[in-house]
Chains A and B, each alone.
Chain A
Amino acid sequence: MKIKSVLFTLLLVTLMLTFSSAFAESTTITDILGREITLEVPPELVVLTGKKTATIIEAPFMFAYGKDHVATSWGGQDGGKFNALIEKTTPEITDGSVEAVAAMQPNMIILKSYTREDAGLAFEETGIPVMYLSFETIEDYHTDIANLGKAFGEEERADEILAYYDEIVNRVAENSAQIADRKKTLLVQFSETDGVYALKVPPVSWLQTEIVEMAGGDPVWKDIGLNANSWSEVNFEQIAAWDPEVILVVNYFADPKVSVETLKSEPGWDMLTAVKEGQIYPFGKDLLSWDSASPRWGLGLLWTQQTLYPELADDIDLDAEIMKFYQWFGLSDEVIQANLIDVYHAEPELVP
């Protein structure tokens, strides 16, 4: 009888151990750089750190998992205002050094894809799985969101997020298919330092150019052999030579509405077709601009098409779209209205 009890207990323990190890599911992910990483899903703690994280820092919080398990540094072009709206329980990372991050004993580290050579390799040396994210193109979004879903054990959520972006792309593409004559469009970044401003156009391969083209515009800066790798400064002479029909003004660090008023008051600008016909617009922005490769690019695409072709895009209710987008981050309607929609509609604060 005693031997039977012992054998039964041993069998029970063996079964329990087998099942418990089966529950600790391990998965292999191929990240945007083509590296394979293996980790237990879902990981207990993920640290998103390193340099140049502006475009990757928000996407993890589109997943329910992110709010309680992903620790990041705050900051960015809005000084961390948007990040502060997200209700999360993880601490802010103030020390992003390799040793300090390793001391947190995270189960995974997330870094920006193009920092691997000068910083990522050191993080990899800790032996903690490192996943790189890019979020630089629409194609990258599909890979990166799917990978986050897999890592967080929220693959269904990842599919939903991607379906949201696909729906926007398809809707805009359907409208664009009706356009016979594409408007000559100029997207410029207004960059100001010590009261002196510069106007810059994006490289052809960047998301800003893709957004204008997908929305049905004809980016005038495509054909002049610009620097392929960074924003290129252009002067008024070049802008006058292009004489675009529509000008979209981006400002990452200040109110683009003010930038538009500044440009309109500059000598010579009143002779441009876009200015004469009232077709110069501040690019859509709430706390952050919608043109860059942040998760807001869907809003940026909708905004651009509605601005270029309001007659085709009258079905786009931008306020509803803003509400819908920020709900991915778990923000309440009141928070979205007060902190994002109202900011988007706010009057420019012009200095007399």
Chain B
Amino acid sequence: MIKNNRLTLTILLGIFLICLILSFLIGRYPEVGFIQLKSLENDPIGQRVFYSLRVPRVILGALLGMALGTSGLVFQTVFNNPLVGSGMLGVTQGASLGAAIGIVFFNGNPWIVQFLAIGLGTSALFLSVFSARRIHYGGWTLRLVLSGSVISALFGAGISLLKYQADARNQLHAIEFWLMGGLGYTTWRGLPIVIVIVILSLIYLWKVRWRVNLLALDHETASSLGIQIQKERLMALAAAVFAVSAATSLSGIVGWIGLIVPHLARRLLGANTSDSLPASMLIGGILVLVCDNGMRTLSAVEIPLGIITSFIGVIVFILLMGARKT
């Protein structure tokens, strides 16, 4: 089993690396298809398209997918609930509200947008958990889903209010663009700090990947094993929220990846997070890169990434839910 999982992870890593390399080479410049790196030597516009646009876009896409996949697995494990993802717990709505506030009141300053997205994304998660504990109806799974829906609705109402107040000629357009999610206009602007936050968060989660299994245990069982469960849960959740909020502060909302990727990872490698966490990381990265590559090469129109991932996510989710457990 361990040997099989290692092989699967190696294959996933191989697919991820191939996707990453292909993503750098494929695009619409100078024509639809692969770019010849040698041809860039005497093409100053081509060099800028490649180094200033395509490279940051691919990096953000890979990090976004990895962050969404990994955080989805952490949320589902910690809350012992297969139906939660960053979208279901209000994190993406919270981050969206933060970004909308940054756009409307702080002129879209990328630093402030990122700070507010992370701050409100984190607040939304803790509000969801806090209110789930206050609900006296149903089991933990149902309570968390209910409370996540309520908090999402609350932050969603805040976004609607801001959209109403936003200037239709510039701010509204920017908010809508953000809500649909996309990598089409990614540059290096604001990206270095996102790279640092996401990579540090992912490294932390990767290092504690086997302990994530234990975070689903109840307090008494965990204490008997000598685990400071509250502290470790908090650290894992903070790392997951930071990674997702930082990446989405630039890309906007890209839905469903955080929900379906952990299911795919568990199908492939089992529930042990030692294997399913790195698998979620890789599958998330592969999925976002494939969706983005497909759109930017096959379609002449830049369709927001969030729309495509939602379509694919819903179909995969239905198939997974309908499939017999192995």
Interface of A, secondary structure class, is loop
Q: A227-B165, A229-B165 are in contact. Are A51 and B49 (CB under 8 A)?
A: no
A103: Cβ under 8 A from any B Cβ: yes
Q: Looking at chain B, what size class is its interface with the partner chain?
A: 35 or more
Q: Is the CB of B300 within 8 A of A94?
A: yes
User: In chain B, what residue has the closest Cβ to A134?
Assistant: B169
A119: Cβ under 8 A from any B Cβ: yes
Considering the chains assembled together, what is the distance between the CA atoms of A52 and B170 in angstroms?
10
Q: A227-B165, A229-B171 are in contact. Are A122 and B184 (CB under 8 A)?
A: yes
Considering the chains assembled together, what is the distance between the CA atoms of A344 and B184 in angstroms?
40
Considering the chains assembled together, what is the distance between the CA atoms of A105 and B178 in angstroms?
29
* A residues in contact with B213, CB < 8 Å: none
B119: Cβ under 8 A from any A Cβ: no
Q: Is the CB of A122 within 8 A of B300?
A: no
Q: A103-B28, A125-B48, A127-B45 are in contact. Are A96 and B172 (CB under 8 A)?
A: no
Q: A117-B174, A122-B186 are in contact. Are A100 and B108 (CB under 8 A)?
A: no
Q: A95-B300, A97-B28, A103-B28 are in contact. Are A229 and B167 (CB under 8 A)?
A: yes
User: In chain B, what residue has the closest Cβ to A117?
Assistant: B108
Q: Is the CB of B53 within 8 A of A126?
A: yes
Q: Is the CB of A136 within 8 A of B53?
A: no
A102: Cβ under 8 A from any B Cβ: yes
Q: Is the CB of B184 within 8 A of A128?
A: no
Q: Is the CB of B168 within 8 A of A126?
A: no
- Within 125-153 of A, Cβ neighbours of B (below 8 Å) are at 125-128, 136
Q: Is the CB of B29 within 8 A of A102?
A: yes
A98: Cβ under 8 A from any B Cβ: yes
Partner among B46, B172, B184 whose Cβ is within 8 Å of the Cβ of A98: B184
Q: Is the CB of A103 within 8 A of B169?
A: no
* B residues in contact with A163, CB < 8 Å: none
- Within 3-39 of B, Cβ neighbours of A (below 8 Å) are at 27-31
- In the assembled complex, the CB of B107 is this many whole angstroms from the nearest CB of chain A, namely 8
Q: Is the CB of B28 within 8 A of A95?
A: yes
Q: Is the CB of B173 within 8 A of A98?
A: no
- In the assembled complex, the CB of B192 is this many whole angstroms from the nearest CB of chain A, namely 15
Considering the chains assembled together, what is the distance between the CA atoms of A103 and B172 in angstroms?
30
A159: Cβ under 8 A from any B Cβ: no
* A residues in contact with B301, CB < 8 Å: 95-97
Q: Is the CB of B187 within 8 A of A121?
A: yes
Q: Is the CB of A103 within 8 A of B29?
A: yes
Partner among A96, A100, A126, A136 whose Cβ is within 8 Å of the Cβ of B48: A126
Q: Is the CB of B166 within 8 A of A98?
A: no
Considering the chains assembled together, what is the distance between the CA atoms of A121 and B52 in angstroms?
11
Q: A102-B45, A125-B187 are in contact. Are A114 and B170 (CB under 8 A)?
A: yes
Q: Is the CB of B48 within 8 A of A114?
A: no
Q: A126-B45, A127-B44 are in contact. Are A99 and B170 (CB under 8 A)?
A: no
A115: Cβ under 8 A from any B Cβ: yes
- In the assembled complex, the CB of B164 is this many whole angstroms from the nearest CB of chain A, namely 7
Residue-wise interface mask of A (273-299) relative to B, using a CB-CB cutoff of 8 A (1 in contact, 0 not)? 000000000000000000000000000
B219: Cβ under 8 A from any A Cβ: no
- In the assembled complex, the CB of A208 is this many whole angstroms from the nearest CB of chain B, namely 13
* B residues in contact with A96, CB < 8 Å: 300-302
Residue-wise interface mask of B (128-157) relative to A, using a CB-CB cutoff of 8 A (1 in contact, 0 not)? 000000000000000000000000000000
- Within 71-116 of A, Cβ neighbours of B (below 8 Å) are at 94-100, 102-103, 105, 114-115
Q: Is the CB of B167 within 8 A of A98?
A: no
Q: Is the CB of A136 within 8 A of B185?
A: no
B209: Cβ under 8 A from any A Cβ: no
User: In chain B, what residue has the closest Cβ to A115?
Assistant: B173
A332: Cβ under 8 A from any B Cβ: no
7 tightest A-B CB contacts, nearest first? A230-B168, A114-B170, A95-B300, A99-B29, A229-B167, A122-B185, A125-B52
Q: Chain B: residues with CB nearer than 8 A to chain A?
A: 27-31, 44-46, 48-49, 52-54, 108, 164-174, 177-178, 184-187, 189, 296, 300-302
Listed by A's residue number, 17 A-B pairs whose Cβ atoms lie within 8 Å are A51-B173, A96-B300, A100-B29, A102-B29, A102-B49, A103-B28, A103-B31, A115-B173, A117-B174, A118-B173, A118-B177, A121-B185, A122-B187, A125-B53, A126-B52, A136-B169, A230-B168
Contacts beyond the supplied A99-B53, A114-B170, A122-B186: 7 A-B pairs with Cβ under 8 Å? A96-B302, A99-B49, A102-B45, A114-B169, A115-B170, A117-B108, A230-B172
Q: Chain A: residues with CB nearer than 8 A to chain B?
A: 51-52, 94-100, 102-103, 105, 114-115, 117-119, 121-122, 125-128, 136, 227-231
